[in-house]
């Protein structure tokens, strides 16, 4: 599945380990929040990088104290109509100041990517959208009405020469 | 009124191009219907029983003559010569072809209009008092804040895929004409120690589980309004139910969480916002937007107009119309005119292309270029000199737009029902027409006074039956249409959900039952000034229930 990060197509070096599977000895892995919660010590003691995958009902605050130890947080969109992931992303980026990779996975479609990017996602694992189409989607609007995690300057400031 | 600047213009045009691309990808099969659906919905495109429907936003119900003419042109060019003004101050076209919709949206963008977020599970068109900026009973003009909310909510990246649709209404008047207590968020503007702020109500709604909103805050200062709204929206987006479409509105979250706990969730979220998260609208921007809503320059006039008084004496029809369709204006010598879209025999809220052109012309000649759409599906000219009212009336009358029934028994809210809607249990429009027929005598209507009948063809309550003084709900019993009557509902500052009177009636029995109900009201009212809803609240259900079922 293509992975687009920072507006480029990149190789995916990460693997998600389902809860019932054994942790592989090497390589970068992500696990569910539940697994991270129950095996925190073990996971953080690995000398590979570690990430967590959030499902829509998960509370991102549970990760707050570990944020500087995580390289990747994946937010899953089992159905793209379930918009909880946008709030999780905003909370991680803006409330808690998470600076690592924030990746949208699951049902990620071209027409949601702009909103995802504005909410703080910098990486998108998309089934069908090709890079040029994703880049177009990110540029469809030249101005925005409200501040968000992407730090584009809203028009209510640009109108008054503030940026 | 607000005018687009270069940014607004660009954003709306970019939206048209974006949608053009989406339609092309849908028509080529690249997008599947289920993926296209939320995209078209966020552009106001619904699939109805017979065709696609396009819903166009009229933000807080205000438009200018040029915009009204553009709507007339769309009706002519892309539809069947009429449009339908809705209870949410929007307009709908029922017969537009999908392939034409990008062009319609482009025509709209040329006159600073759009269909953005008029449907879908996002923040919808903000509604307000249709007399805003003109009425005597307002603390201030709510429209500038409606516009600020409109901009903030437009393409809000976090709140485009909410559990369900989300509606915000704002009023600033003593008498609530915006029905704020049956909205997801209702805002009531007030002044406290010289500061402007908002009383915040959350979780009102209609549909199958009607709720009156809970008051979540007495006063949110204007500088914090958008942050407070974000806090409410985030709590809803995270915790609102998504397992059941019928339990997904914020009213269910508020009632299942409990008012206290819900308020705490919002307050905690609001308190947790870091400085960097605050929206911090610059004062210059607040001032810039307010400047668009300066009242029109109205020449000073005496409070009484001789020509107006004379015309009333000479023309009884005019006199009757003035008693029903005028509302007091802030400024002496002026008045606010309601153009009724509820003549006999026409579906509530429908207007033809020619009628729209007439309304545009008249707003230009007599109305300082200002037009409003009311949530009761009428059109309002807010600023008309009393001296001009008679001429205006004659021209309206010639266009079939002078029905003297604003707020009276024949001024009903009626949903499309079985004639147009695939969810309907029963017809609504013919029942509404039969009731109009039963009360067709204008003197009789004037004698009955304020009386709101609202009709829905099923429990989704598009016709607001829960908050009609008399509500009529179509139900299906073994393949036969029945109508349940509720009494005592209201959507104003004393908002209440109507109570069921008893078993459903057959369509033919509804008008006669209402005749008996109205007669009972006339016997019981303490004076001619006591309205039906007041008599009902004083006397209770029993006498009216007896009247309804007396023929059974
Ligand atoms: C003809 C096709 C229509 C269909 C299929 C339809 C469908 C629905 C449905 C399913 C709901 C319930 C939504 C919910 O509770 O979340 C609803 C609510 C509503 N509809 Fe319609 N509708 C139609 C036409 C209209 C029209 C023409 C109007 C305006 C005159 C309208 C105004 C409303 C309003 C005001 C609500 C209530 C929203 C609330 O609960 O606060 N609808 N409609
Ligand atoms: S109330 Fe029911 S019948 Fe009427 S328009 Fe809404 S969904 Fe259709």
CB contacts, 8 Å: B151 with chain A: 145-146, 155-156
CB within 8 Å of A163: residues ≥ 6 apart: A153, A157
Pull the structure tokens for residue B408: 């009276």
Residues of chain A below pLDDT 70: 129
Q: How far is A98 from chain B (nearest CA, A)?
A: 14
- Structural domains counted in chain B: 4
Residue B122: which pLDDT band, with cuts at 50, 70 and 90?
very high
Pull the structure tokens for residue A102: 């924030």
- The secondary element (H helix, E strand) that includes residue A103 is strand A101-106
Residue B365 in contact with ligand 1 by CB distance below 6 A: no
| Residue range of the domain that includes B310 | 306-347+354-374+385-398
A163 in a domain, yes or no? no
Express as a percent the part of chain B with pLDDT over 90.
Answer: 89
Same domain, B81 and B213: no
B118 in a domain, yes or no? no
Position B22 pLDDT exceeds 80: yes
Q: How far apart are CA A102 and CA A120, in angstroms?
A: 7
**For range B191-212, the mean pLDDT:** 95
Residue B552: which pLDDT band, with cuts at 50, 70 and 90?
low
B403 in a domain, yes or no? no
Residue B420: which pLDDT band, with cuts at 50, 70 and 90?
confident
| Residue range of the domain that includes A45 | 3-158
How many Cα neighbours within 13 Å face the side chain of B157? 30
CATH number at residue B227: 3.30.413.10
Residue B268: which pLDDT band, with cuts at 50, 70 and 90?
very high
Q: How far is A11 from chain B (nearest CA, A)?
A: 25
pLDDT, residue B346, reads: 82
CATH number at residue B52: 3.90.480.20
Question: Atom 43 of ligand 1 has which residue's CA nearest to it?
Answer: B462
Residue B463 in contact with ligand 2 by CB distance below 6 A: yes
- Mean pLDDT over the full length of chain B: 95
Same domain, B153 and B78: no
CB contacts, 8 Å: A158 with chain B: 7
pTM given for the model: 0.94
**For range B489-496, the mean pLDDT:** 96
Stronger pLDDT, B472 or A25, i.e. the higher one = B472
A89 in a domain, yes or no? yes
- The predicted-structure confidence for B124-139, as pLDDT tens digits, reads as follows 999 999 999 999 999 9
B405 in a domain, yes or no? no
CB contacts, 8 Å: B156 with chain A: 145-146
pLDDT, residue A59, reads: 98
Residue of A nearest to B286 (CA): A156
**Which listed ligand is nearest to B465 at the C-alpha?**
2
Atom of ligand 1 nearest to the CA of B349: 30
Same domain, B16 and B103: yes
B48 in a domain, yes or no? yes
Atom of ligand 2 nearest to the CA of B422: 8
Question: Atom 15 of ligand 1 has which residue's CA nearest to it?
Answer: B207
**Span of B36-40, B160-164, B337-341, B471-475 with lowest mean pLDDT:** B36-40
CB contacts, 8 Å: A155 with chain B: 7-8, 11, 151
Residue B475 in contact with ligand 2 by CB distance below 6 A: no
pLDDT, residue B97, reads: 87
Q: Are B496 and B502 in contact (CB under 8 A)?
A: no
Q: How far apart are CA B419 and CA B494, in angstroms?
A: 33
Q: Which among B38, B157, B279 has CB closest to A81? A: B38
Residue B132 in contact with ligand 2 by CB distance below 6 A: no
- Structural domains counted in chain A: 1
Express as a percent the part of chain B with pLDDT over 70.
Answer: 99
CB contact under 8 A, A90 and B279: no
CATH number at residue A83: 3.20.20.70
**For range B538-551, the mean pLDDT:** 94
**Span of B73-82, B132-141, B384-393, B419-428 with lowest mean pLDDT:** B419-428
- The predicted-structure confidence for B44-63, as pLDDT tens digits, reads as follows 898 776 678 899 999 999 99
pLDDT, residue B49, reads: 63
Task: Give the three-state DSSP class for B51.
Answer: coil
Same domain, B22 and B145: no
Atom of ligand 2 nearest to the CA of B457: 3
Residue B421: which pLDDT band, with cuts at 50, 70 and 90?
confident
Pull the structure tokens for residue B481: 């249409």
User: Inter-axis angle of helices B65-78 and B101-110, to 10 degrees?
Assistant: 160
Same domain, B527 and B489: yes
Question: Atom 6 of ligand 2 has which residue's CA nearest to it?
Answer: B462
Task: Give the three-state DSSP class for A75.
Answer: strand
Atom of ligand 2 nearest to the CA of B458: 2
CB contacts, 8 Å: A88 with chain B: 238
pLDDT, residue B31, reads: 85
Q: Of B84, B92, B424, B481, which is best to mutate to test ligand 2, by the most ligand atoms within 8 angstroms of its C-beta?
A: B424
Q: How far apart are CA B192 and CA B97, in angstroms?
A: 51
B120 in a domain, yes or no? no
Pull the structure tokens for residue B393: 């009336």
């Amino acid at each position: 599945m293509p992975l687009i990060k920072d507006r480029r197509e990149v190789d995916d070096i990460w693997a998600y380990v389902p809860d019932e599977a054994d942790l592989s000895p090497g390589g970068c892995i992500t696990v569910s929040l539940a697994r991270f919660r129950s095996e925190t010590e073990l996971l953080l003691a690995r000398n590979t990088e570690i990430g967590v995958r959030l499902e829509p009902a998960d509370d991102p605050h549970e990760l707050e104290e570990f944020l500087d130890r995580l390289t990747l947080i994946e937010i899953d969109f089992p159905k793209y109509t379930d918009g909880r992931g946008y709030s999780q992303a905003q909370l991680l980026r803006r409330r808690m100041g998470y600076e690592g990779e924030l990746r949208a996975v699951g049902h990620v479609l071209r027409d949601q990517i702009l909103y995802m990017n504005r909410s703080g996602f910098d990486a998108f694992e998309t089934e069908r959208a090709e890079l040029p189409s994703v880049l177009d989607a990110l540029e469809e609007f030249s101005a925005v009405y409200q501040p968000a995690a992407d730090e584009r300057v809203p028009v209510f400031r640009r109108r008054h020469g503030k940026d | 009124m607000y005018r687009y600047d270069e940014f607004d213009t660009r954003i709306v045009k970019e939206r048209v191009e974006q949608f053009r691309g989406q339609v092309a990808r849908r028509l080529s099969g690249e997008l599947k219907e289920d993926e296209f659906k939320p995209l078209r919905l966020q552009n106001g495109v619904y699939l109805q029983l017979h065709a696609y429907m396009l819903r166009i936003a009229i933000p807080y119900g205000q438009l200018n003559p040029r915009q009204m003419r553009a709507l007339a042109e769309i009706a002519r060019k892309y539809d069947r010569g009429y449009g339908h003004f809705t209870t949410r101050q929007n307009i709908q076209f029922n017969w537009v072809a999908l392939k034409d919709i990008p062009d319609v949206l482009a025509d709209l963008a040329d006159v600073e209009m759009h269909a953005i977020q008029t449907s879908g599970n996002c923040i919808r068109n903000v509604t307000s008092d249709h007399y805003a900026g003109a009425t005597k009973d307002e603390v201030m003009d709510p429209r500038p804040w409606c516009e600020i909310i409109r901009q903030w909510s437009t393409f809000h990246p976090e709140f485009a895929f909410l559990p369900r649709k989300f509606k915000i209404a704002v009023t600033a008047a003593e008498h609530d004409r915006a029905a704020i207590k049956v909205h997801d968020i209702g805002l009531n503007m007030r002044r406290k120690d010289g500061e402007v702020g908002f009383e915040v109500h959350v979780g009102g709604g209609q549909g199958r589980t009607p709720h009156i909103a809970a008051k979540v805050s007495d006063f949110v200062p204007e500088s914090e309004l958008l942050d407070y709204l974000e806090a409410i929206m985030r709590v809803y987006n995270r915790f609102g139910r998504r397992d059941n479409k019928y339990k997904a509105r914020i009213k269910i979250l508020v009632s299942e969480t409990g008012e206290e706990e819900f308020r705490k969730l919002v307050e905690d979220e609001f308190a947790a916002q870091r400085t960097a998260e605050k929206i911090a609208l610059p004062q210059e921007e607040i001032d810039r937007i307010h400047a668009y809503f300066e009242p029109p320059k109205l020449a000073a006039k005496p409070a009484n107009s001789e020509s107006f008084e004379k015309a009333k004496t000479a023309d009884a029809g005019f006199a009757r119309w003035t008693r029903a369709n005028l509302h007091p204006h802030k400024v002496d010598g002026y008045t606010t005119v309601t153009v009724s879209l509820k003549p006999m025999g026409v579906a509530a809220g429908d207007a033809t292309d020619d009628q729209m052109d007439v309304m545009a012309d008249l707003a230009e000649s007599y109305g300082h270029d200002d037009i409003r759409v009311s949530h009761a599906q009428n059109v309002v000219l807010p600023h008309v000199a009393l001296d001009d009212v008679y001429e205006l009336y004659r021209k309206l009358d010639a266009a079939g737009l002078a029905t003297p029934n604003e707020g009276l028994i024949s001024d009903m809210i009626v949903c499309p029902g079985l004639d147009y809607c695939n969810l309907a249990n029963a017809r609504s429009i013919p029942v509404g027409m039969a009731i109009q027929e039963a009360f067709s005598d204008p003197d009789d209507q004037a004698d009955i006074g304020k009386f709101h009948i609202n009709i829905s063809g099923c429990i989704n309550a598009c016709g607001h039956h829960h908050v009609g003084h008399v509500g009529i709900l179509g139900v299906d019993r073994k393949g036969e249409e029945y109508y349940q009557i509720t009494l005592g509902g209201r959507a104003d500052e004393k908002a209440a959900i109507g109570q069921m009177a008893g078993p459903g009636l057959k369509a033919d029995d509804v008008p006669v039952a209402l005749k008996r109900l109205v007669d009972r009201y006339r016997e019981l009212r303490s004076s001619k000034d006591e309205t039906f809803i007041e008599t009902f609240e004083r006397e209770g259900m029993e006498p009216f229930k007896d009247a309804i079922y007396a023929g059974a």
